[in-house]
Amino acid sequence: MMRLSWRHLRPGELDHELIWLLVSGAAGLLGAAWLALRLPWPRCTFLAVTGLPCLTCGATRSAAAFLQGDLALAWQWNPLVFLGICAVVLFDVYALLVLLTRAPRLRVSLTHPRAGRAVAGTVIVLALLNWGYVLLRS
């Protein structure tokens, strides 16, 4: 269903590692600066309208706890956001390593026609489970 391979970038191929390392690094720095400057936190429109937390409620508090090194609290605020931050950190370490060492890049290809649907279904189930958790926690 899913095949992993390591290869060097082809001429003219988009350098995903460099692009997403820069984007996530800039987002992380902006977020850390936002929190350090004690600027107002984003307000949830869904919560304001319905009185119920949305799928991503707790994301800012989860990220703030993560940046302060309180991983258990980051998980408690929003597990899916916590896992997303962990995935970004792992990707950034990988991207930095392959960029600095000019090593082959990891590429993922879906080999079965239904693999894309299976991945999308898994993401939807995880999102709904996370939303259920956030609703129960509120």
Chain positions contacting Zn ion, by CB under 5 A: 44, 47, 54, 57
Q: Which is nearer to Zn ion, 44 or 106 (CB)?
A: 44
Residue 5, token pair as written in the block: 């391979």
Amino acid residing at 63:
A
> Whole-number minimum distance, CB 57 to Zn ion, in Å?
3
- Identify the sign of the CA torsion 37, 39, 41, 45: negative
Q: Which backbone phi and psi does 6 adopt, to 5 degrees? A: -115, 130
Q: How far is the CB of 44 from Zn ion (least distance, A)?
A: 3
Task: Tell me the CA distances in angstroms from 126 to 26, 84, 93, 119, 133, one per residue in order.
Answer: 27, 12, 25, 11, 10
Comparing CB distances to Zn ion, the nearer of 59 and 98 is: 59
Nearest-approach distance from CB 65 to Zn ion, in angstroms: 17
Q: Name the minimum Å distance from CB 58 to Zn ion.
A: 8
Which amino acid, one-letter code, is at 112?
Answer: H
Instruction: CB nearer to Zn ion: give 17 or 58.
Output: 58
- Residue closest to Zn ion, measured at CB: 44
Give the residue with the Cβ less far from Zn ion, 61 or 94.
61
Q: DSSP strand E in 1-138: where?
A: 2-7, 105-110
